[in-house]
Amino acid sequence: MSIIKNAAADSFIERLPRGVQFYLVHGPDEGLTHERSQAIVRKVLGENPDPLRLVRLEGDGLARDPGALAEEAYAVSMFGGSRAIWIDAKGRELFAAVNPLFARPPDDCAIIIKCGQIKKGNALRSAFETMSGAVSIECYSDKLNALGPLIDGELQNAGIALAPEARTAVLAMLGADRTALRSEMTKLMLFAQGKRRIEDRDVAAVLSGSAQSGVDDIIDRSLVGDLRGAAECAARFFNEGGDGDYLINRLIARLTLLFQIRVEMDQGRTFDAGCQALSITLPADARRSLAQQAECWSSQSVTKRLAALRDASVKVRNESRLSGILAARGIWALASRSPSRRD
């Protein structure tokens, strides 16, 4: 039916048109694909969907048994009403599972597939872009200066204002990753309970407090290929009670920011011009570190590491006890595979 570009995706989901039954939500931003897939489910089934009307499937299972999707889609609802099947592709090829449904769409059942980045021309993506009743929804990381409405919405719900300097500090620390931004904004607003306004000192206390003081050093060393230094800093961080989930989110945020800058530089801009285009304001030391990292990495190499870290982030949300192990692995992988590293 159509391709929904990233900039138009949220407004499209807010006003889902009649006649659309198949949704492919894809792109490199795992947090954004999850958020938009979830929004579609809520639009189809209501704000608090009945668990009996929502089926969750995994790509691994459908890859082994493609026919399982059709069996579930054509099943008769026990209590009537519309249904939705939400599929997490997890990198698996699902064209064989979905294709039979295009020929004979199930009655009153929406199919929502969440997946990572898919190349144009892929059979599944091409089907959603051309078949009647289907849409392909692109999800790419937000520009830093486009995250204002998200931040304002979180603040409005909490009844707290954010000083301009504090807003700059939040974006500088967290980059353009929605999942990390929402998580850290929640911490920030809990810290600021009883206050009417969040200042930049509050941001510094919560998002780069003493317990997390070594995080930037860990990330900086990793991204320039200093494997030994990164490992030593990571060991110290965990020995002092550092949170692996926090570290993974900061890694994702930094790589997302680095990717945005590399995209600007790939278009012929200098590092400084790229920062200006993205409204990035950083202290001098942090700016120098980021400039060095931008010279070390390409947008393609950043994309590969981002995909791995986002997979790790999903695992941490499912099993928090693995957060330290997965964060440590992410650090070692970054440092050992940094394009600047020479063994």
For the chain, percent of residues with pLDDT exceeding 90: 24
What is the pLDDT averaged over residues 254-264?
85
pLDDT tops 60 at residue 343: no
Asked if residue 231 and residue 132 are part of one domain, the reply reads: no
Question: Of 120, 138, 156, which residue sits at a domain end?
Answer: 138
Please tell me the distance from the alpha carbon of residue 282 to that of residue 256, in angstroms, as a whole number: 16
Asked if residue 231 and residue 114 are part of one domain, the reply reads: no
Please tell me the distance from the alpha carbon of residue 85 to that of residue 97, in angstroms, as a whole number: 13
Asked if residue 108 and residue 85 are part of one domain, the reply reads: yes
pLDDT confidence of residue 152? 76
What is the pLDDT averaged over residues 296-324?
82
Band the pLDDT of 200: cuts 50, 70, 90: confident
Q: Which residues form the domain of 296?
A: 209-343
Asked if residue 337 and residue 216 are part of one domain, the reply reads: yes
Asked if residue 161 and residue 65 are part of one domain, the reply reads: no
Asked if residue 128 and residue 86 are part of one domain, the reply reads: yes
Mean pLDDT in the chain? 82
Count: domains in the chain: 3
Tell me which of 136-150, 229-243, 315-329 is least confident: 136-150
**Which of residues 66 and 186 earns the better pLDDT score?**
66
pLDDT tops 50 at residue 210: no
Tell me which of 18-32, 277-291, 302-316 is least confident: 277-291
Question: Of 192, 208, 224, which residue sits at a domain end?
Answer: 208
CATH number of the domain that residue 341 is part of: 1.20.272.10
Asked if residue 165 and residue 45 are part of one domain, the reply reads: no
pTM of the entire structure? 0.51
Asked if residue 150 and residue 129 are part of one domain, the reply reads: no
CATH number of the domain that residue 66 is part of: 3.40.50.300
Tell me which of 40-44, 98-102, 291-295, 308-312 is least confident: 308-312
Asked if residue 260 and residue 226 are part of one domain, the reply reads: yes
Question: Of 177, 208, 239, which residue sits at a domain end?
Answer: 208
Asked if residue 52 and residue 100 are part of one domain, the reply reads: yes
Asked if residue 147 and residue 54 are part of one domain, the reply reads: no
Asked if residue 316 and residue 252 are part of one domain, the reply reads: yes
